[in-house]
């Protein structure tokens, strides 16, 4: 995200599988960098991903991430 993607503060990043082992760290690291985070997850993990700091949490069973991420 930071080296190859050059993520900067104020940019928006989409993290698929935001409740998973890699995704949950990616959400937190992106927030520390000052990015706006959109995370996708299953319905059971919506509140967990929100608690990690995601600005927008997409339940992929109910909505398309393309619509939520803009």
For the domain bounded by 12-62, which CATH number is listed? 3.40.50.720
In the chain, which ranges are E strands? 12-15, 36-41, 56-59
The sign of the dihedral angle between the CA atoms of 62, 70, 7, 37 is: negative
Residue 18: pLDDT over 90: yes
Cβ-based neighbour number of residue 22 at 10 Å: 11
Burial category of 1 from C-beta neighbours within 10 Å (exposed 0-12, middle 13-18, buried 19 and up): middle
Quick one: pLDDT band at residue 1, thresholds 50, 70, 90? confident
This prediction has a pTM of 0.91
pLDDT digit string (tens) for 19-55?
999 999 999 999 999 999 999 999 999 999 999 999 9
DSSP assigned state of 67: H
């Amino acid at each position: 995200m930071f080296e190859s993607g050059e993520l900067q503060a104020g940019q928006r990043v989409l993290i698929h599988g935001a409740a998973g082992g890699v995704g949950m760290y990616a959400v937190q690291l992106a927030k520390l960098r000052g990015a706006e985070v959109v995370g996708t997850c299953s319905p059971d993990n919506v509140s967990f991903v929100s608690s990690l700091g995601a600005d927008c949490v997409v339940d992929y069973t109910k909505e398309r991430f393309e619509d939520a991420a803009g």
